[in-house]
Copies of this chain bind each other. A is one copy, B any other.
Amino acid sequence: MLKYSTAYFYTMIKVAVVEDLDDYRNGLVNLINWTDGYECTGAYATAEEAIKELPALKPDVALIDISLPGKSGIELVEYIHQNISSILCMMCTAYDEDEKVFKALQAGAYGYLLKTTSPADIMNAVQQLVNGGAPMSSDVARKVIASFQSPKKNNETENLTAREKQVLELLSKGLLYKEIAFQLSISIDTVKRHCFNIYEKLHVSNRTEAINKYHQH
Complex contact B172–A142 (CB within 8 A): no
A134 at the interface (CB under 8 A from B): yes
Closest to A211 in B: B208
Within 75-106 of A, Cβ neighbours of B (below 8 Å) are at: 81-82, 85, 105-106
Q: Which B residues touch A148, using CB under 8 A?
A: 105-106, 144, 147-148
Q: How far is the CA of A105 from the CA of B207 in the complex (A)?
A: 31
Complex contact A152–B81 (CB within 8 A): yes
Q: Which B residues touch A137, using CB under 8 A?
A: 133
Complex contact A149–B81 (CB within 8 A): yes
A201 at the interface (CB under 8 A from B): no
Copies in the complex: 2
A204 at the interface (CB under 8 A from B): yes
Complex contact A145–B105 (CB within 8 A): yes
Q: Which B residues touch A206, using CB under 8 A?
A: 174, 176
Known contacts A133-B138, A138-B134, A208-B208; A105/B149 CB under 8 A: yes
Within 121-164 of A, Cβ neighbours of B (below 8 Å) are at: 128, 131-139, 141-142, 144-150, 152-153
List 10 tightest A-B contacts by C-beta distance, closest first.
Answer: A133-B138, A174-B209, A174-B208, A148-B148, A134-B142, A134-B141, A132-B139, A134-B145, A141-B141, A128-B138
CB-defined A-B contacts under 8 Å, sample of 25: A81-B149, A82-B152, A82-B153, A105-B145, A105-B149, A107-B149, A110-B142, A110-B146, A128-B138, A132-B138, A133-B137, A134-B138, A134-B139, A134-B141, A134-B145, A135-B138, A144-B145, A144-B148, A148-B148, A172-B208, A173-B212, A174-B204, A174-B208, A174-B209, A208-B208
